[in-house]
Amino acid sequence: MDSDLVAKQFVEYYYSTFDTNRAGLASLYQESSMLTFEGTKTQGAAAIVAKLAGLPFQQCHHAVSTIDCQPSGPAGGILVFVSGQLQLAGEQHALKFSQMFHLMPHQGSFFVLNDIFRLNYA
Amino acid sequence: MDSDLVAKQFVEYYYSTFDTNRAGLASLYQESSMLTFEGTKTQGAAAIVAKLAGLPFQQCHHAVSTIDCQPSGPAGGILVFVSGQLQLAGEQHALKFSQMFHLMPHQGSFFVLNDIFRLNYA
Protein backbone atom coordinates (compact mmCIF):
# COMPACT_ATOMS: atom_id res chain seq x y z
CA MET A 1 0.00 0.00 0.00
CA ASP A 2 1.29 3.43 -0.93
CA SER A 3 0.31 5.68 1.99
CA ASP A 4 1.14 8.85 0.09
CA LEU A 5 -1.18 7.83 -2.74
CA VAL A 6 -3.99 6.88 -0.34
CA ALA A 7 -3.60 10.22 1.44
CA LYS A 8 -3.61 12.21 -1.79
CA GLN A 9 -6.66 10.43 -3.18
CA PHE A 10 -8.49 10.74 0.12
CA VAL A 11 -7.79 14.47 0.36
CA GLU A 12 -8.96 15.09 -3.19
CA TYR A 13 -12.14 13.09 -2.60
CA TYR A 14 -12.85 14.62 0.81
CA TYR A 15 -12.65 18.27 -0.22
CA SER A 16 -14.33 17.88 -3.59
CA THR A 17 -17.20 16.11 -1.82
CA PHE A 18 -17.28 18.73 0.94
CA ASP A 19 -17.50 21.50 -1.64
CA THR A 20 -20.13 19.92 -3.91
CA ASN A 21 -22.19 17.45 -1.83
CA ARG A 22 -21.46 17.79 1.87
CA ALA A 23 -23.96 15.07 2.83
CA GLY A 24 -21.91 12.65 0.73
CA LEU A 25 -19.20 12.71 3.39
CA ALA A 26 -21.35 10.38 5.54
CA SER A 27 -19.86 7.31 3.87
CA LEU A 28 -16.37 8.24 5.11
CA TYR A 29 -17.31 8.07 8.81
CA GLN A 30 -18.52 5.35 11.16
CA GLU A 31 -20.06 5.28 14.63
CA SER A 32 -16.64 5.39 16.26
CA SER A 33 -15.55 8.42 14.24
CA MET A 34 -14.70 11.65 16.03
CA LEU A 35 -14.69 15.21 14.71
CA THR A 36 -13.28 18.21 16.55
CA PHE A 37 -14.24 21.28 14.53
CA GLU A 38 -12.87 24.54 15.90
CA GLY A 39 -12.79 22.95 19.34
CA THR A 40 -16.30 21.46 19.27
CA LYS A 41 -16.41 17.67 19.56
CA THR A 42 -18.86 15.43 17.69
CA GLN A 43 -18.96 11.63 17.49
CA GLY A 44 -20.57 9.23 15.00
CA ALA A 45 -21.20 9.52 11.26
CA ALA A 46 -24.73 10.96 11.53
CA ALA A 47 -23.80 13.60 14.10
CA ILE A 48 -20.64 14.55 12.19
CA VAL A 49 -22.48 15.05 8.92
CA ALA A 50 -25.18 17.04 10.74
CA LYS A 51 -22.46 19.21 12.23
CA LEU A 52 -20.85 19.82 8.84
CA ALA A 53 -24.22 20.48 7.20
CA GLY A 54 -25.04 23.02 9.88
CA LEU A 55 -21.92 25.14 9.48
CA PRO A 56 -22.79 28.80 8.88
CA PHE A 57 -21.76 28.76 5.23
CA GLN A 58 -23.09 26.76 2.32
CA GLN A 59 -20.96 27.42 -0.74
CA CYS A 60 -17.25 27.05 -0.20
CA HIS A 61 -14.09 25.91 -1.90
CA HIS A 62 -11.10 24.26 -0.26
CA ALA A 63 -7.70 24.78 -1.93
CA VAL A 64 -5.11 22.38 -0.54
CA SER A 65 -1.57 23.71 -0.06
CA THR A 66 0.24 20.78 1.60
CA ILE A 67 -0.45 17.12 2.39
CA ASP A 68 1.74 15.16 4.81
CA CYS A 69 1.13 11.57 5.84
CA GLN A 70 2.60 8.92 8.11
CA PRO A 71 1.58 5.37 9.06
CA SER A 72 -0.02 5.48 12.54
CA GLY A 73 0.99 2.05 13.84
CA PRO A 74 0.46 -1.70 13.51
CA ALA A 75 -3.32 -1.43 12.92
CA GLY A 76 -2.60 -0.09 9.43
CA GLY A 77 -3.88 3.42 9.94
CA ILE A 78 -2.66 6.50 8.09
CA LEU A 79 -2.35 9.99 9.53
CA VAL A 80 -3.02 12.75 7.01
CA PHE A 81 -2.17 16.37 7.78
CA VAL A 82 -3.47 19.06 5.45
CA SER A 83 -2.98 22.80 5.20
CA GLY A 84 -4.88 24.98 2.80
CA GLN A 85 -7.27 27.83 2.21
CA LEU A 86 -11.02 27.88 2.56
CA GLN A 87 -12.84 30.35 0.33
CA LEU A 88 -16.40 31.15 1.40
CA ALA A 89 -18.89 32.45 -1.15
CA GLY A 90 -19.17 36.22 -0.98
CA GLU A 91 -16.05 36.69 1.15
CA GLN A 92 -13.11 38.61 -0.24
CA HIS A 93 -10.34 36.77 1.58
CA ALA A 94 -9.80 33.04 1.93
CA LEU A 95 -9.32 31.58 5.42
CA LYS A 96 -6.27 29.48 6.14
CA PHE A 97 -6.98 26.13 7.75
CA SER A 98 -5.21 23.05 9.03
CA GLN A 99 -6.87 19.66 9.35
CA MET A 100 -5.78 16.20 10.31
CA PHE A 101 -7.41 12.86 9.56
CA HIS A 102 -6.69 9.43 10.96
CA LEU A 103 -7.71 6.88 8.32
CA MET A 104 -8.26 3.30 9.45
CA PRO A 105 -8.53 0.29 7.14
CA HIS A 106 -12.02 -1.17 6.77
CA GLN A 107 -13.31 -3.68 4.25
CA GLY A 108 -10.65 -3.02 1.67
CA SER A 109 -10.89 0.73 1.99
CA PHE A 110 -10.49 3.30 4.79
CA PHE A 111 -12.76 5.26 7.08
CA VAL A 112 -12.05 8.42 9.07
CA LEU A 113 -11.59 7.55 12.75
CA ASN A 114 -10.25 10.97 13.77
CA ASP A 115 -10.82 14.39 12.21
CA ILE A 116 -9.57 17.66 13.71
CA PHE A 117 -10.10 21.00 11.95
CA ARG A 118 -8.79 24.45 12.87
CA LEU A 119 -8.82 27.78 11.14
CA ASN A 120 -5.49 29.60 11.31
CA TYR A 121 -6.58 33.14 11.93
CA ALA A 122 -4.42 35.80 10.31
CA MET B 1 -6.82 8.50 31.99
CA ASP B 2 -7.77 12.06 31.13
CA SER B 3 -6.66 12.54 27.51
CA ASP B 4 -7.12 16.30 27.66
CA LEU B 5 -4.84 16.55 30.67
CA VAL B 6 -2.21 14.28 29.09
CA ALA B 7 -2.31 16.39 25.93
CA LYS B 8 -2.02 19.68 27.81
CA GLN B 9 0.88 18.47 29.97
CA PHE B 10 2.65 16.99 26.96
CA VAL B 11 2.31 20.20 24.96
CA GLU B 12 3.63 22.32 27.80
CA TYR B 13 6.58 19.99 28.32
CA TYR B 14 7.35 19.63 24.62
CA TYR B 15 7.53 23.32 23.76
CA SER B 16 9.24 24.43 26.96
CA THR B 17 11.89 21.76 26.33
CA PHE B 18 12.17 22.72 22.65
CA ASP B 19 12.70 26.36 23.60
CA THR B 20 15.22 25.79 26.41
CA ASN B 21 16.98 22.45 25.82
CA ARG B 22 16.20 21.05 22.39
CA ALA B 23 18.38 17.96 22.90
CA GLY B 24 16.16 17.04 25.84
CA LEU B 25 13.39 16.10 23.40
CA ALA B 26 15.25 12.83 22.69
CA SER B 27 13.50 11.09 25.58
CA LEU B 28 10.10 11.66 23.96
CA TYR B 29 10.92 9.67 20.81
CA GLN B 30 11.81 6.04 20.07
CA GLU B 31 13.26 4.18 17.11
CA SER B 32 9.82 3.83 15.52
CA SER B 33 9.09 7.55 15.84
CA MET B 34 8.51 9.60 12.70
CA LEU B 35 8.88 13.33 12.16
CA THR B 36 7.74 15.22 9.08
CA PHE B 37 9.04 18.77 9.41
CA GLU B 38 7.95 21.11 6.61
CA GLY B 39 7.63 18.08 4.35
CA THR B 40 10.99 16.46 5.22
CA LYS B 41 10.71 13.00 6.78
CA THR B 42 12.97 11.69 9.54
CA GLN B 43 12.71 8.46 11.54
CA GLY B 44 14.14 7.40 14.91
CA ALA B 45 14.87 9.37 18.07
CA ALA B 46 18.52 10.16 17.24
CA ALA B 47 17.79 11.33 13.70
CA ILE B 48 14.80 13.37 14.84
CA VAL B 49 16.76 15.19 17.53
CA ALA B 50 19.59 15.80 15.05
CA LYS B 51 17.06 17.25 12.62
CA LEU B 52 15.60 19.57 15.26
CA ALA B 53 19.06 20.59 16.49
CA GLY B 54 20.07 21.44 12.92
CA LEU B 55 17.18 23.79 12.20
CA PRO B 56 18.41 27.18 11.01
CA PHE B 57 17.46 28.98 14.20
CA GLN B 58 18.68 28.50 17.74
CA GLN B 59 16.71 30.75 20.05
CA CYS B 60 12.96 30.54 19.68
CA HIS B 61 9.75 30.66 21.65
CA HIS B 62 6.57 28.72 20.92
CA ALA B 63 3.28 30.30 22.04
CA VAL B 64 0.43 27.79 21.90
CA SER B 65 -2.97 29.07 20.73
CA THR B 66 -5.10 25.90 20.66
CA ILE B 67 -4.79 22.26 21.74
CA ASP B 68 -7.23 19.61 20.48
CA CYS B 69 -7.00 15.92 21.30
CA GLN B 70 -8.78 12.66 20.53
CA PRO B 71 -8.13 9.00 21.40
CA SER B 72 -6.63 7.29 18.35
CA GLY B 73 -7.99 3.77 18.80
CA PRO B 74 -7.82 0.61 20.91
CA ALA B 75 -4.02 0.75 21.39
CA GLY B 76 -4.52 3.66 23.78
CA GLY B 77 -2.91 6.37 21.69
CA ILE B 78 -3.77 10.05 21.83
CA LEU B 79 -3.78 12.44 18.90
CA VAL B 80 -2.79 15.99 19.82
CA PHE B 81 -3.29 18.87 17.39
CA VAL B 82 -1.67 22.21 18.18
CA SER B 83 -1.80 25.64 16.60
CA GLY B 84 0.37 28.50 17.72
CA GLN B 85 3.04 31.03 16.93
CA LEU B 86 6.78 30.56 16.70
CA GLN B 87 8.89 33.59 17.54
CA LEU B 88 12.47 33.42 16.30
CA ALA B 89 15.16 35.56 17.98
CA GLY B 90 15.79 38.72 16.01
CA GLU B 91 12.69 38.41 13.84
CA GLN B 92 9.99 41.04 14.08
CA HIS B 93 7.01 38.84 13.31
CA ALA B 94 6.08 35.48 14.76
CA LEU B 95 5.37 32.58 12.38
CA LYS B 96 2.11 30.69 12.67
CA PHE B 97 2.45 26.95 12.89
CA SER B 98 0.34 23.82 13.18
CA GLN B 99 1.65 20.55 14.56
CA MET B 100 0.20 17.16 15.34
CA PHE B 101 1.53 14.46 17.64
CA HIS B 102 0.45 10.85 18.03
CA LEU B 103 1.27 9.78 21.57
CA MET B 104 1.45 6.07 22.32
CA PRO B 105 1.48 4.52 25.78
CA HIS B 106 4.82 3.08 26.89
CA GLN B 107 5.93 1.94 30.34
CA GLY B 108 3.40 4.03 32.21
CA SER B 109 4.00 7.12 30.14
CA PHE B 110 3.78 8.07 26.45
CA PHE B 111 6.18 8.46 23.56
CA VAL B 112 5.74 10.35 20.28
CA LEU B 113 5.10 7.88 17.45
CA ASN B 114 4.07 10.51 14.89
CA ASP B 115 5.01 14.20 14.65
CA ILE B 116 4.06 16.45 11.74
CA PHE B 117 4.94 20.16 11.71
CA ARG B 118 3.97 22.85 9.22
CA LEU B 119 4.36 26.59 9.15
CA ASN B 120 1.23 28.43 8.04
CA TYR B 121 2.64 31.11 5.85
CA ALA B 122 0.80 34.41 5.93
Report the C-alpha gap between B17 and B118 in whole angstroms: 19
Q: Where are the alpha helices (DSSP H) in B1-122?
A: 3-20, 45-53
Q: What SS3 class is residue B49?
A: helix
Q: What DSSP line would sit under B66-100, residue for residue?
A: EEEEEE-STT--EEEEEEEEEEETT-SSPEEEEEE
User: Per-residue pLDDT tens for B21-69?
Assistant: 999 999 999 999 999 999 999 999 999 999 999 999 989 999 999 999 9
Report the C-alpha gap between B48 and B42 in whole angstroms: 6
Residue B85's pLDDT is: 96
The residue type found at A5 is L
Contact A83 B113 (CB under 8 A): no
Report the C-alpha gap between A42 and A22 in whole angstroms: 16
Residue B121's pLDDT is: 77
Domain boundaries, given as residue ranges, for chain B: 3-120
Q: Which long-range contacts (CB under 8 A, 24 or more apart) does B20-25 make?
A: B22/B49, B22/B52, B22/B53, B23/B49, B23/B53, B25/B49, B25/B52
Q: Which of A100, A106, A111 to mutate to test the interface with B (most CBs of B within 10 A)?
A: A100
CB contacts of B4 in chain A (<8 Å) are none
User: Per-residue pLDDT tens for A12-31?
Assistant: 999 999 999 999 999 999 99
Classify domain B3-120 at the CATH class level: alpha beta
CB contacts of B98 in chain A (<8 Å) are 81, 83, 98, 118, 120
The residue type found at B94 is A
Report the C-alpha gap between B40 and B33 in whole angstroms: 14
Report the C-alpha gap between B76 and A58 in whole angstroms: 37
Contact B118 A34 (CB under 8 A): no
